[in-house]
Amino acid sequence: MAEAMQYPDLVVVGAGLFGLTVAQQAAERCGASVRVIDIRDHIGGNAYSYFDEETGAEIHKYGAHLFHTSNARVWEYVNRFTEFTDYVHRVYATHDGEVYPLPTNLGTINQFFRAHYTPAEAKALIEEQAGELAGTDPQNLNDKGIQLIGRPLYEAFIKNYTAKQWQTDPADLPADIIKRLPVRYNYDNRYFKDTWEGLPKDGYTAWMERMVADPRIEVSLGVDFFDESQPFNKAALQAAGVPVVYTGPIDRYFDYALGDLKWRTVDFKEVRYDEDDHFGCPVMNFSDADVPYTRAIEFKNFNPERREQQNHERTVVWEEYSRFAERGDEPYYPINTEADKALYERYAELAAAEPKTVFGGRLGTYKYYDMHNVIDTALTAFDEQVLPLIAD
C-alpha cells in the first residue's frame, strides 16, 4: 500500500517578497514546516537580481528596484536580512536633446524657461500656465498634469512619456495615476521622500536567500501550482486541507472563470557600450514621442561603491518598452479601469470563500505595490490570516 503524502504545515505559492516574508514568519514564530514553490527558476519574484559577468553590474532582471520606506516596522524587518547602501535615487529626463532633473523642481523650471525664478515666482508661473484648470480637481490624467505643473512642462515631460507607458491617450487615463506627482519649488531632486532609502549591499538575491535560510523552509523552483503531476498542486492541497498562501494571479487561480484581469507588461532591450559610463546616472527617462522606449537603466550606476570590482571598458544598459500584457506575458502593472476593478471585486468574493487559502501580493490582490508595501501587507496578513490557519 502506498504511503500517504506527508504535507508541510503551510505551502506558499510564489517566492516573491510577500511569500518569502510569510514563510519566514511561519517558520520563526510558529516553528511551522513550510514549502515554498515557484514556477520560475529563482527566488525573489520581480526583485530578483544577478551579477553580469562582463561588466560586474548587478542586473535587476525585472526592471529597476529601489528600496525606500518610512515604515519603521518594515525597515527594522528588512535590516535583519541585509545591510543597505546609502544610495539616493535621482532621475533625469532627456527632452528635445537636453537633459533635465526630475521630478519637476526649481532646477527643472529655471532650466526649461531659461530663467532664474525664485520659488514664489515659479509657483505663480505654474499657476498661470495651468490656465482654467488651476485650482480645479480634474478627473483625467491629461488635465490633472496640466493643473499640477502647467501646460508647457506637462507636455514636455509627462504627456508623451505617459502615452508610451500606457499606450493610451492621457485624456483617457484616470487622474489618480499622477495625483502625487511632486512639484518642488526648491532644488531638491531626490526622487523619494521616505525616511530610509538604499540598495542591499550584496544584492537582492542574497537578501532573499537569507529570508529562507531556516531549515524548516524548503524551496522548490520550476514548480507549477496548477500541474497535477506534482504533489504541491491546488487540487491535492485542497483535498488534504493544507493551508496555502497564494501570490499568483487571482484570475488564474479560478481558471479565468470570470474573465481576464488586464495588465501592462515591460519588454527590455539590452545594449552594451564600449565605455565605462554611458549616461552618468542610473535611470534616464526619454520624454519625447520619437523615442520608442520610456527609459533606459544603466545598472552600474546604482552601485558606485562597487567601482573597483566593475569593468571600466564596458557598460550594460536596458531600454524599457511598455505594452499591454497578453496571457503568458509577465504582468507588471494592473490597468485598473473601472471594469477591471469591478472584475477584481468579483474574484475577491470567490477568494473570500476559499477557507484555507490566503491571497496576497501584487498578483493575488490586483494592486501595484512598492517593495516596502509588499512586506508590510505580508506581515499584517501573517498576523491576521495565516497565523490562525496554522494554529488550526
Residue ranges covered by each domain of the chain: 10-81+200-262+331-389, 102-177
State how far the Cα of 72 lies from the Cα of 237, in Å rounded to an integer.
36
Active site residue 264: yes
Model confidence pLDDT, tens digit, residues 292-324: 999 999 999 999 999 999 999 999 999 999 999
Pick the catalytic residue: 77, 92, 253, 264? 264
Q: Which of 391, 343, 380, 319 is nearest to 63 (CA)?
A: 319
Confirm whether 320 is a catalytic residue.
yes
C-alpha cell at 200: 542591499
Q: Which of 53, 76, 114, 180 is catalytic?
A: 180
CATH top-level class of 10-81+200-262+331-389: alpha beta
pTM exceeding 0.95: no
Quote the CA–CA distance of 128 and 112 in Å, as a whole number: 16
370 is catalytic: yes
- Exposure string for 138-166, b = 16+ CB within 10 A, e = fewer: beebbbbbbbbbbbebbbbbbbbbbbbbb
Which one of the listed residues 253, 295, 362, 366 is annotated catalytic?
295
Point out the catalytic residue in the list 58, 251, 320, 376. 320
The per-residue pLDDT for 199 is: 98
Q: Is 255 in the active site?
A: no
From 137, 368, 383, 384, active-site residue: 368
Phi-psi category of residue 131: left, alpha or beta, with phi > 0 → left and psi -120 to 50 → alpha = left
Q: What is 102-177's CATH topology?
A: protoporphyrinogen ix oxidase, domain 3 (1.10.3110)
Nearest to 77 by CA among 6, 28, 34: 28
Percent of residues, the chain, with pLDDT higher than 70: 98
pLDDT higher than threshold 60 for residue 3 = no
* CA atoms of 336 and 234, how far apart (whole Å): 27
CA separation for the pair 183, 108 (Å, rounded): 10
**Residue 286: per-residue pLDDT:** 98
Residue 2 banded pLDDT, cuts 50, 70, 90:
very low
Provide the mean pLDDT of the chain: 95
The proportion of the chain whose per-residue pLDDT surpasses 90, expressed as a percent, equals 88
Identify whether the C-beta of residue 104 lies closer than 8 Å to the C-beta of residue 149: yes
Mean pLDDT of 187-206: 96
Per-residue b or e along 338-361, where b marks 16 or more CB atoms closer than 10 Å to that residue's CB = eebeebbeebeeebeeeeebbbbb
User: 83-98 pLDDT, tens per residue?
Assistant: 999 999 999 999 999 9
In the block, cell 524599457 appears at 320
Confidence at residue 180, expressed as pLDDT on a 0 to 100 scale: 65
- In this predicted structure, the answer to whether residue 340 has a pLDDT above a threshold of 60 is yes
Residue with cell 482654467: 132
Cell 533635465 belongs to 100
pLDDT in tens, 32-49: 999 999 999 999 999 999
pLDDT of residue 357 exceeding 50, the answer is yes
